[in-house]
Amino acid sequence: MKNTYLQSLLLFFTMFTSQIWAQKTEWFDPNKPATTYCNPINIGYNYTTYNHNGIPESRRSSADPVIINYKGDYYLFATNQAGFFWSKDMADWNFVYGSFQRKPGDDDQCAPAAWVVNDTLFYVGSTWKKDHPVWKTADPKSGRWLRHVDTAMLPTWDPAIFQDDDKKVYMYYGSSGKLPLVGAEVDYNTWLPKGNQDDYKKLYEATEVEDIQRPYGEIKAVVGLDPSQHGWERFGPNNDMEPAPWGNFIEGAWMTKHNGKYYMQYGAPATEFKGYANGVHVGDNPLGPFTYQKHNPMSYKPGGFVIGAGHGNTFADNYGNYWNTGTCKISIKDRFERRIDMFPAGFDKDDVMYSITSYGDFPIVLPTAERDQTNGASSGWMLLSYKKPVTVSSAEDCMEVQTHRVDHGGKKVFEKFCYGAENLTDENIQTYWSAKTDKPGEWLQLDLGRTMQINALQINYADHKATQFNKAMDIYYQYKIYMSDDAQNWTLVVDKSKNDKDAPHDYLELTKSIKARYIKMENIHNASGLFAVSDFRVFGNGLLAKPKGVSNFKVNRNDKDSRNAMISWKKQADAIGYTIYYGIEPGKLYNNIMVYDGDSYDFRGLDKGTKYYFTIEAFNENGIGAKNKIIEIK
């Protein structure tokens, strides 16, 4: 009997310790803080409300991010999340319910503004209405907010709040294809514009959106677009629609003060395009006048897995390093189907504002001290999974799907979508593989082609046949990941079988690297819909030679329209992709364009009357090749 008791006790202890350490392996510990992150930012993106924008399909989405550093923690506010997120390290984000919604069908926190005013965190969402409150809290983690005023200063869309060093408070706003962004100083106590209130009678009585956004009295126009001169501000999938059917859209106001200068930021040309970017004008006063910065766009990412870097904000981390947030597109189920990204940013020695997006969807090193970010903060881990063969347990059949797009006659477009395994490694966030079910045991398996060093993984789930709408607290994924040298003998490397946190773009930094050729993911629990993954991305080192330098690199600027240039080079067998750098000076090549496989790029993002400098480098699983000699383009 004693032996039976001891055996039972031992069995209980074994089960207990097994549950405690169920998610910890030799290579992955979920409780160890990460040293890197990977875009898109891995937060529990909310599902849209039912029939949002008249589209019945369930889908996740968010955009228009604002990250605020408040009392040493980071708070992320974004469109339609039924709350917000906070983090201690900009990697592990925790959700706080904090809805400001009044009607279930309304946008919840659309394009919100947040700022620390007089040591209190303030928040206001977008609205065309005239009864929208301004909220405040000194304890955001509690989810408890109080009204600072019952009615915001104006019915503003895409607002931004800024408090200057002299404690004066300013609001900026606007979202229009015809009108500029505007700004005004506001009274802290009433949140009404400073100046003669009679000046705003027309504005408060206005009913049309365009009239609501017009500058009146002390509400000043601060930034407008000039796409006739700035190629990147042009509407269209490749800045190629002139005239723009809905006007040339400007939105996403944000203000940053640096070295006594005011940097007025804005988003253009539209959220559903790969060229979605942040630009900046610079002035000596918070309401201008402002001058277009020669280095523009300030943040730009038209290529790669994450596409788009527009409408975000700029904030400083706890070490004084700047970061620029943005919105990246999926735009399949809805043109407003989007995600959030974040890139190293800053001001160079000449006070030029920049954001570094090169390899910005590969792992990026988190800050531990003040650092020079003019070259970004890449971990150096390369993409190992591009176009690698994949086998799967099952795959959904192809089908005709109605997309958000319309043809020139205004009719909705139907496209054929296939959900095969090849979509798992194509570096296209718009395509995905789907199993036939959501059941435990569905799996996917990659063959890297040879043994490689693996440092990190990113699992990008897709919303295929999902049934969830809006927020729920039982949304999560569970799975296991195994690795092998021969596809016969498998080692459990990541165990998320007990996970209960929503992580639709789950980024896994291994606690120590592992060498393997095969990687297998086994589904245990899916959040909503079928088990579907956009891309299963693997990062590390291929352990062979980096690519050679690129030959025959040419930039032919269009003689008739200097906003356009055709970039070409000789495709090489040892590369999987190329990164083109360009800028206004040889030492300021801050912007980039990533191209997989190809040998040319039709670039339409230049400014007239500006001389540019270009170079290119090739990359593969093993590293990045040498940059070419910089060429000058007049």
Q: What is the mean pLDDT of the chain?
A: 91
Cα-to-chain-centroid distance, residue 574: 30
153, pLDDT greater than 70: no
Residues in Cβ contact with 333 at an 8 Å cutoff, skipping those fewer than 6 apart: 55, 57, 59, 403, 404, 463
2, pLDDT greater than 70: no
264, pLDDT greater than 80: yes
Q: Supply the pLDDT for residue 17.
A: 37
Domain ranges of the chain: 61-380, 390-541, 554-633
Q: Supply the pLDDT for residue 447.
A: 98
Angstrom distance (rounded) from CA 272 to CA 107: 18
What SS3 class is residue 152? coil
Amino acid at position 481, single letter: I
The CATH number fitting domain 390-541, selected from 3.30.70.1520, 2.60.120.260, 3.40.50.300, 1.10.10.10? 2.60.120.260
Q: Supply the pLDDT for residue 194.
A: 84
Topology (CATH) of 554-633: Immunoglobulin-like (2.60.40)
Angstrom distance (rounded) from CA 228 to CA 606: 11
Alpha-carbon dihedral 616, 619, 625, 627, rounded to 10 degrees: 10
Q: Supply the pLDDT for residue 522.
A: 98
11, pLDDT greater than 60: no
Q: Supply the pLDDT for residue 9.
A: 39
Q: Supply the pLDDT for residue 10.
A: 39
Q: Supply the pLDDT for residue 103.
A: 66
Which letter does DSSP use for residue 545 in this model?
A: P
pLDDT per residue over 220-244, tens digit each? 999 999 999 999 999 999 999 999 9
Mean pLDDT of 616-633: 97
Residue 505 pairs in a beta bridge with: 460
Q: Supply the pLDDT for residue 1.
A: 40
Angstrom distance (rounded) from CA 580 to CA 571: 13
Residue in 262, 314, 266 with CA at minimum distance from that of residue 287: 262
The residue assigned the tokens 């705003």 is 200
Q: Supply the pLDDT for residue 497.
A: 96
Residue in 262, 106, 241 with CA at minimum distance from that of residue 177: 241
Question: Do 259 and 351 meet the contact criterion of CB atoms below 8 Å apart?
Answer: yes
Same-fold call for 61-380 versus 390-541? no
- Beta strand 146-149 with 134-137 is antiparallel
Give residue 257's pLDDT band: very low, low, confident or very high (50, 70, 90).
very high
Angstrom distance (rounded) from CA 233 to CA 253: 15
| Cis peptide bond upstream of 30, omega within 30 | no
pLDDT per residue over 360-417, tens digit each? 999 999 999 999 999 999 999 999 999 999 999 999 999 887 766 655 555 667 788 8
Residue in 626, 625, 619 with CA at minimum distance from that of residue 577: 619
Give residue 101's pLDDT band: very low, low, confident or very high (50, 70, 90).
low
Distances (CA, A) of 360 to 326, 383, 580, 601: 12, 12, 14, 19
Q: What is the CA radius of gyration of the chain?
A: 25
19, pLDDT greater than 90: no
Residue 220 pairs in a beta bridge with: 183
320, pLDDT greater than 70: yes
Q: Supply the pLDDT for residue 6.
A: 42
Structure tokens at 344: 């190293």
Q: Supply the pLDDT for residue 211.
A: 73
Lowest mean pLDDT segment, chosen from 101-115, 137-151, 312-326, 399-413:
399-413
581, pLDDT greater than 60: yes
150, pLDDT greater than 90: no
Angstrom distance (rounded) from CA 604 to CA 557: 10
Give residue 7's pLDDT band: very low, low, confident or very high (50, 70, 90).
very low
pTM comes to 0.93
The CATH number fitting domain 61-380, selected from 3.40.50.12500, 2.115.10.20, 1.10.40.30, 3.60.15.10? 2.115.10.20
Distances (CA, A) of 240 to 38, 224, 228, 564, 604: 30, 19, 12, 10, 8
For 470, other C-beta atoms within 10 Å of its C-beta total 17
Mean pLDDT of 174-183: 93
Q: What's the number of CA atoms in the CB half-sphere (13 Å) around residue 458?
A: 29
pLDDT per residue over 110-135, tens digit each? 999 999 999 999 999 888 776 778 99
The residue assigned the tokens 């007025």 is 264
Give residue 98's pLDDT band: very low, low, confident or very high (50, 70, 90).
confident
Q: Supply the pLDDT for residue 127.
A: 80
